[in-house]
Structure 1
Amino acid sequence: MAMKKILLVVTNVDHYASGLDTGLWLSELTHIYHTAKEKGWEVTIASPKGSTVPIDPESLKPLILDKITKDYYKSPAFMEELNHSKTLTEVENKSFDCVYLAGGHATMYDFPDDTTLQSIIAKQYESGKMVAAICHGVGGLLNVKLSGRAYLITGKKLTGFDWFEESIARRKREVPFNLEAALKERGVIYDKAFIPMTSKVVVDGNLITGQNPFSSKEIAKVIVKELERSNLKKQY
């Protein structure tokens, strides 16, 4: 099986407009990172500004922190890599088999309007390669336009952190916009788990989305499965 190259995009924002701390939701990075590394694939971590990546303190709470994520958080090598993330401009002309947008509420501030990120995603998608996003990272797809000027996500089936889950997370008054409503305004076929805060992954061609942090393990497995399937198709 040929080695795959994965681009993991993370946030640089460390607080809401109110000043409350936020950042990357760590498990939404660690599970895809771990799964790809187990496969021996090449992983690149990038962010809009590069360098330091803040971690949402909520994602580090004992009741939330799973073993894989805890081990990576305690790994000096991983944290060194995370806090020396590439800038998006450094990687925008490189080739990847999958571009994955990790979440965290912070991504609602620096993902949607980043034109370099939009360009990376549009090129990736139009080349028939995989684009994946999880939770609030799905907001990075909102303003991506394809070469025909249509929005990438219009008419696509996908998921993302829903508004009721925002209530459960007690962040409705903190977030800059309602992600579920914004997705629906773009004309997506929005799908979500029957039970809030449970895993949900949606595949629509080469677009894969996960609803919330609890989808981190499943989306990693689905990405690997789909990438290996596409590799088999090329062989036969």
Structure 2
Amino acid sequence: MNASLRLDKVNPSEYDLVYFLPGGHDPMWDFVSNPLLNNTQQHFVQEEKVIAALCHGVSVLVDAFDTDGNVFVKGKKITSFADSEEIGVGAEKLVPFILESKLTELGGIYSKGNDFSSYTVVYE
């Protein structure tokens, strides 16, 4: 961690994949509409590189667009922290949007496992 680069010092073209860490609810505010993250993720979307995200880290994808300018998550299999989990922790009125609902609204093909359990979706 001591050798980590600041995001503004990272050249996305030098990397094969990006992993957006969850950090609890913080990504809902810190990741969405963040110019540095948007630039990084757009590079990975445009170059069809691997993007991985966990829990609320998936929120960064609400700002992503494919090479034709379409919403990136549209038609993609996707998962995240679920609406029922947000309600379960009493945060549904605290967050700027409910992630599952937002991803579905954007055309994502959302699926989930049991609340608060491990569940993975891979889109190819």
Q: TM-score, normalised by structure 1?
A: 0.49
91, 95, 104: which one pairs with 1:171?
91
Residue of structure 2 equivalent to 1:152: 72
Residue of structure 1 equivalent to 2:105: 185
Residue of structure 1 equivalent to 2:36: 116
How far the C-alpha of 1:177 sits from its partner, in A, is 1.2
Measured against aligned partners, the alpha-carbon deviations of 1:92-148 in whole angstroms (never above 9, x if no partner) come to 444212100111200100111012212211221332321001100000000111232
Higher percent of residues as strand? 1
How far the C-alpha of 1:150 sits from its partner, in A, is 1.0
Q: TM-score, normalised by structure 2?
A: 0.89
Separation in 2 of the partners of 1:152 and 1:111?
A: 16
Q: Secondary structure at the match of 2:63?
A: coil
Asked if 1:102 is matched to 2:21, the reply is yes
Separation in 1 of the partners of 2:34 and 2:6?
A: 12
Separation in 2 of the partners of 1:180 and 1:128?
A: 23
Separation in 1 of the partners of 2:49 and 2:107?
A: 22
Residue of structure 1 equivalent to 2:120: 201
Q: Secondary structure at the match of 2:43?
A: helix
52, 57, 60: which one pairs with 1:132?
52
Opposite residue 10 of structure 2, the aligned amino acid is V
Q: Which runs of 5+ in 2 are unaligned?
A: none
Separation in 2 of the partners of 1:109 and 1:101?
A: 14
* Structure of larger gyration radius: 1
Opposite residue 59 of structure 2, the aligned amino acid is G
Q: Percent identity?
A: 33
How far the C-alpha of 1:200 sits from its partner, in A, is 0.5
Runs of 4+ aligned residues of structure 1 deviating over 3 Å after TM superposition are none
Measured against aligned partners, the alpha-carbon deviations of 1:187-235 in whole angstroms (never above 9, x if no partner) come to 0000110x21111000001xxxxxxxxxxxxxxxxxxxxxxxxxxxxxx
Q: Which runs of 5+ in 1 are unaligned?
A: 1-77, 206-236
Opposite residue 88 of structure 2, the aligned amino acid is I
User: Does the 8 Å CA contact 1:122/1:152 hold for their aligned counterparts?
Assistant: no
How far the C-alpha of 1:85 sits from its partner, in A, is 5.0
Opposite residue 73 of structure 2, the aligned amino acid is I
Measured against aligned partners, the alpha-carbon deviations of 1:60-102 in whole angstroms (never above 9, x if no partner) come to xxxxxxxxxxxxxxxxxx5xx3xx7533221144421210011
Separation in 1 of the partners of 2:38 and 2:64?
A: 5
Q: Secondary structure at the match of 2:122?
A: strand
Evaluate the alpha carbon distance shift between residue 159 and residue 93 of structure 1 in structure 2; reply closer, same or farther with a 3 A threshold.
closer
